[in-house]
Amino acid sequence: MANRVFNFNPGPSTIPLDVLKIIQEELIDYRGTGMSIIESSHRSPEFDEVNNQAMALAKEILGLGDNYKVLFMTGGASSQFAYIPLNFLNDGQVGAYVDTGTWSTKAIKEAQIIGNMHLAGSTKDDGYTFVPKPADISYPDNTAYLHVTSNNTIKGTQFHQFPDTGEVPLICDMSSDIASRKIDYSKFSLIYAGAQKNLGPAGVTLVVIKEDLLAKCKEGLPSMFNYQTYAAKNSLYNTPPSFGIYVMKLVFEWIMNQGGLEAVEKVNMAKKDTIYGMIDKYPDYFKGTVKPDSRSWMNITMRLPNEDLEKKLIADAKAAGFVGLKGHRSVGGVRVSVYNAMPLEGATKLAEFMETFMNANQ
């Protein structure tokens, strides 16, 4: 695999090489069918098996029981911003939101189009450099749900502790850190994630939803905008994003082959320690942009002493085979995205590159 680079793109992002090889191998003739899975009917036994396996693996990996349903949807995480208030935010209630940056802000905007929003916590005034502590999140009695963004892909922060919401459903946008660490996923009544960061290609959105929340979907919604439609039809009400589901299944199998979330978490921990190690060793050169206790394990953000150095680092890194390090256009700087599929070797070699770059560019 001579031409593969270390791909630090924030999304769409790197996919395990083992998975790409299986796709390549199966693309011409999927298991003796004489066609690829993306040319097969979504009603075929072959696709049905893929669909069911992907759902079962999602639950197994996240440690969720039979009281959860797995849905495969389209429209990205951004459509979920609207689906959630459409389905669960009734008159006389508020949707409670924690604002921790760009993506939560967008979720809030959609909620405000549909109903009443309560700001349950925000770090906007601090430039989103950290996430609120559970004790600093509050909402009134008429709260339909509390929405949080577990990992802030652009700002480089992440929740390491989630609030206990009791009877209030906790809903989480996990687009950029799902299945990256062992947490209690059963704390959440609904989790959603666009696949293109940790799970596969763009085009499919994973949703896991607890049955008791599913029962609360509003009446009178158009079919494609009601979670119950997807649940009732095994996500096959209309033609699903079959390629994405197929790749997601392969990624789940890859996770299981690594040893599940425990093993994946260990590698992710080593990767983030390696890169934050540079920030902690040379804080005047690699300037971390977030508070240490809110550091993201997935998207590591930093500034260099000036913008010219940032540009040079990004260009030199690219020439050396480390791609995708440019910070989001809204914040600038350097962002190192180390999703599940980035091997430890990528982080280790990048850290070496960073140190060498620093020594050569004072």
Ligand X SMILES: *Cc1c(COP(=O)(O)O)cnc(C)c1O
* Positions that interact with ligand X (CB under 6 A): 11, 76-78, 103, 149, 153, 173, 175-176, 194, 197
Answer yes or no: 103 catalytic: yes
Q: What is the C-alpha to C-alpha distance for residues 106 and 315, in angstroms, rounded to an integer?
A: 31
**Inter-CA distances, 34 with 45, 46, 62, 253, 280, Å:** 14, 12, 34, 23, 54
Minimum CB separation of residue 25 from ligand X in Å reads 28
User: Which residues, 6 or more positions from 317, have their beta carbon under 8 angstroms from its beta carbon?
Assistant: 323, 325, 350, 353, 357
Among residues 56, 147, 141, 138, the alpha carbon closest in space to that of 110 is found at 147
Q: Which is nearer to ligand X, 173 or 265 (CB)?
A: 173
Minimum CB separation of residue 110 from ligand X in Å reads 11
Q: Which is nearer to ligand X, 241 or 346 (CB)?
A: 241
Q: Which is nearer to ligand X, 36 or 74 (CB)?
A: 74
Q: Is 20 exposed, middle or buried (0-12, 13-18, 19+ CB in 10 A)?
A: middle
Phi/psi at 120 (5° precision):
-85, -10
Residue whose token pair is 């590698």:
267
Q: What is the C-alpha to C-alpha distance for residues 102 and 152, in angstroms, rounded to an integer?
A: 8
Strand order through the sheet with 170-173:
68-73, 205-210, 190-194, 170-173, 143-149, 94-99, 116-122
Answer yes or no: 173 catalytic: yes
Q: What is the C-alpha to C-alpha distance for residues 130 and 217, in angstroms, rounded to an integer?
A: 33
Q: What is the C-alpha to C-alpha distance for residues 302 and 161, in angstroms, rounded to an integer?
A: 23
Q: Which is nearer to ligand X, 103 or 254 (CB)?
A: 103
Minimum CB separation of residue 339 from ligand X in Å reads 10
Q: What is the C-alpha to C-alpha distance for residues 230 and 87, in angstroms, rounded to an integer?
A: 13
Among residues 342, 360, 358, 344, the alpha carbon closest in space to that of 13 is found at 342
Minimum CB separation of residue 106 from ligand X in Å reads 7
Tokens describing residue 299: 């998207």
Minimum CB separation of residue 80 from ligand X in Å reads 8
Q: Which is nearer to ligand X, 163 or 353 (CB)?
A: 163
Cis peptide before 85 (omega within 30 of 0): no
Phi/psi at 186 (5° precision):
-75, 0
Q: Which is nearer to ligand X, 54 or 354 (CB)?
A: 54
Residue number with the smallest Cβ distance to ligand X: 76
Catalytic residue chosen out of the listed positions 99, 173, 177, 326:
173
Catalytic residue chosen out of the listed positions 69, 99, 103, 297:
103
Q: Which is nearer to ligand X, 194 or 201 (CB)?
A: 194
Q: What is the C-alpha to C-alpha distance for residues 128 and 332, in angstroms, rounded to an integer?
A: 14
Answer yes or no: 297 catalytic: no
Minimum CB separation of residue 74 from ligand X in Å reads 10
Minimum CB separation of residue 173 from ligand X in Å reads 5
Which letter does DSSP use for residue 283 in this model? T
Catalytic residue chosen out of the listed positions 69, 99, 155, 197:
197
Q: Which residues are catalytic?
A: 103, 173, 197
